[in-house]
């Protein structure tokens, strides 16, 4: 009890609450790291099914930590850096090791393919910290590393389903093409291809309605189809970004609102109400008049006279 009658427990409770709020996003990030490390250990033991589940759980933790930090106002540069370091492990190294144990030849030089994938994941996350970390976003600059990592990690799930084994998909040379899939995902992570973030749910605009349909379809697919849904859906997401970029590249313009960095204030504006500043070119006549006013009528004494300065009278030259 203090002198003014306030209990010390009451004074310390807001501090403890604030400390708990700050620790919660970092705790989710460390849970993401735990999933990544456990996935590597499980893959080394041949438990590829469980390793894929751990990568998916790491993706859930990664999606929550940033949103919790923004919702509680506890985001910091430390949290952004920690999140990117953890993502290199969970969505870079762990999926690469899963593919190394499942698909690649361990005797040759094919381990360089996982190395290139992990290197591109690290570069992509470093660029993300410079451009987009700590702010809400509608688009990602380059393929997000969680999408790339879960694409590789859920392939083994898909290969154990009837959709894979009892259809023509099972006859395709997946073990050969997955090498090129890893290289393609690595390139897309460091490319300028833009990918949409989690869609906004609502019913007021067309984009919100489409976003609600996408979220509902995803939830139904995860619950009903389970392991048959993840890999095809993630491949479709990867191809969507490529197709959209190629389409808008052919018509010579960028899709509306598709910029590498989007501030939090822009998120609150509708696409039709975003403020645009026109490019106003300077008036050359006004610039010339402004320069004419600032020009000195005569040159300084310590500078030589310009060539077009009138020559002195003849009587002064005779002197």
Give tens-digit pLDDT for 194-239: 888 776 666 777 767 777 787 787 778 777 777 888 898 899 999 9
Domains of the chain, by residue range, sit at: 15-273
Using alpha carbons only, what angle is made at residue 261 by residues 202 and 257, rounded to the nearest 5 degrees? 50
User: What Cα–Cα distance (Å) separates residue 295 from each residue in 282, 298, 299, 305?
Assistant: 20, 9, 10, 14
Give tens-digit pLDDT for 89-99: 999 999 999 99
Q: State how far Cα 210 lies from the chain centre.
A: 21
Q: State both tokens at 310.
A: 């009138």
Q: What pLDDT band is residue 276 in, cutting at 50, 70 and 90?
A: very low
Q: Residue 82, Cβ neighbours under 10 Å: how many?
A: 18
Exposure string for 106-128, b = 16+ CB within 10 A, e = fewer: eeeeeeebbeebbbbbbebbebb
In the predicted structure, residue 185 carries a pLDDT above the cut 70: yes
Q: Give the model's pLDDT for residue 312.
A: 61
Q: Give the model's pLDDT for residue 293.
A: 54
Q: State both tokens at 98.
A: 């899963």
């Amino acid at each position: 009890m203090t002198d003014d009658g306030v209990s010390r427990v009451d004074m310390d409770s807001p501090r403890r609450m604030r400390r708990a709020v700050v620790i919660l996003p970092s705790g989710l990030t460390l849970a993401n790291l735990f999933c990544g490390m456990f996935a590597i250990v499980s893959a080394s033991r041949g438990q590829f099914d469980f390793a894929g589940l751990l990568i998916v759980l790491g993706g859930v933790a990664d999606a929550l930590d940033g949103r919790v930090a923004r919702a509680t106002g506890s985001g910091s540069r430390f949290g952004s850096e920690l999140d990117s370091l953890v993502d290199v492990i969970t969505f870079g190294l762990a999926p690469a090791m899963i593919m190394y144990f499942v698909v690649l030849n361990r005797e040759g030089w094919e381990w360089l393919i996982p190395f290139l994938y992990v290197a591109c994941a690290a570069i992509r996350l470093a660029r993300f910290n410079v451009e987009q970390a700590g702010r809400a976003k509608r688009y990602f600059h380059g393929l997000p590393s969680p999408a790339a990592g879960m694409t590789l990690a859920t392939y083994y799930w898909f290969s154990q389903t009837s959709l894979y084994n009892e259809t023509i998909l099972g006859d395709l040379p997946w073990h050969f093409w997955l090498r090129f899939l890893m290289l393609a995902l690595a390139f897309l992570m460091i490319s300028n291809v833009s990918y949409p973030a989690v869609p906004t749910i609502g019913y007021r605009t067309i984009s919100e309605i489409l976003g609600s349909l996408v979220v509902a379809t995803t939830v139904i697919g995860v619950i009903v189809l389970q392991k048959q849904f993840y890999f095809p859906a993630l491949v479709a997401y990867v191809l969507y970004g490529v197709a959209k970029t190629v389409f808008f590249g052919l018509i010579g313009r960028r899709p509306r609102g598709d910029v590498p960095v989007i501030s939090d204030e822009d998120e609150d504006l509708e696409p039709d109400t975003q403020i645009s500043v026109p490019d106003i070119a300077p008036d050359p006549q006004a610039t010339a008049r402004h320069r004419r006013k600032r020009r000195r009528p005569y040159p300084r004494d310590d500078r030589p006279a310009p060539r077009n300065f009138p020559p002195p009278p003849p009587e002064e030259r005779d002197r």
